[in-house]
Chains A and B, each alone.
Chain A
Amino acid sequence: MSTPISVLLFGITRDLTGQSAVSVPVGEGARVSDLLNQLYQAYPSLSGIRSLLVAVNGEYAETDQLLTSKDEIALIPPVSGG
């Protein structure tokens, strides 16, 4: 049973997908790595980015972190502030 999980997009990921948030269907017990795999499949152009990290509730997440639909999830392309 897969539930849609909402992912916020910024910078180049927003330009590549044309959206500021996408809904990704992930299964029960999905981890950050599953979400990334789903995103790369749905949006192959994301693979041209130098690196993609995932933030969960405003904190950088490890690839094995579990996700729930209540989490605020964001895709973090390479940062370039300053």
Chain B
Amino acid sequence: MISLVTNPIDVASALSYLQTDQAGALDLFLGVVRDNTQERPVDRLEYEAYDRMAIMEMQKIADEAHRRWPILRYTIIHRKGTLLTGEIAVLIGVATAHRADAFEACRYIIDTIKQTVPIWKKEVFTDGEVWVNAHP
């Protein structure tokens, strides 16, 4: 299950979606908005996505994870729009029979999302703003 959402991410329903009798391990990764970047206070984040391509790229990552690990169920949910400190920006959930596969697949998915999925994050400070990773 892959989605790009504007409303807050519902962790409980993602968790219950992952649960299955064959799964001995459920791994959940939550990416959360922090109140600072390199000690500069962040007021909020603004996420923007190229929706159609972002979904396609996330699906490719999930398919590759499926090829590499025996995944029983997975979910990838990414927020867009304006997010405040403490809000969940991304949820990755993986269910597998054993814990090593769940940890590895979950880490692969979040790490690859950050490299290839067309989603952009702008950090808004009290005295300015910056698109993350945009400049050398």
Chain A residues within 8 Å of B, Cβ to Cβ: 8, 10-12, 15, 48-50, 55, 58-60, 74, 76-82
A79 with B31, Cβ < 8 A, contacts A11-B48, A58-B52 known: no
A74 touches B56 (CB 8 A): no
How many inter-chain contacts with C-beta < 8 Å in the A-B complex? 77
Chain A minimum-CB-distance residue to B90: A82
B53 within 8 A of A: yes
Q: Is B73 an interface residue (CB 8 A)?
A: no
Answer yes or no: B103 CB below 8 A from chain A CBs: no
- Cross-chain contact B131 with A82 (CB below 8 angstroms): no
Q: Which residues of B contact A11 (CB under 8 A)?
A: 48, 120, 122, 131, 134
B11 CB to nearest A CB, Å: 16
* Residue count of chain B within 8 Å CB distance of chain A: 29
Looking at the assembled complex, report how far the CB atom of B106 sits from the nearest CB atom of chain A, in whole angstroms: 12
Mark B117-136 against chain A: 1 for CB-CB distance below 8 A, else 0.
11111100000000111111
Residues of B contacting A58 in the complex (Cβ-Cβ under 8 angstroms): 52-53, 56
- Would you give the shortest CB distance from A35 to chain B, in whole angstroms? 17
Report whether B50 and A55 are in contact in the complex, using a CB–CB cutoff of 8 Å.
yes
Residue on A nearest B114 in the bound complex, by CB? A82
Set of chain B residues within 8 Å of A77, measured between Cβ atoms = 120, 131, 134
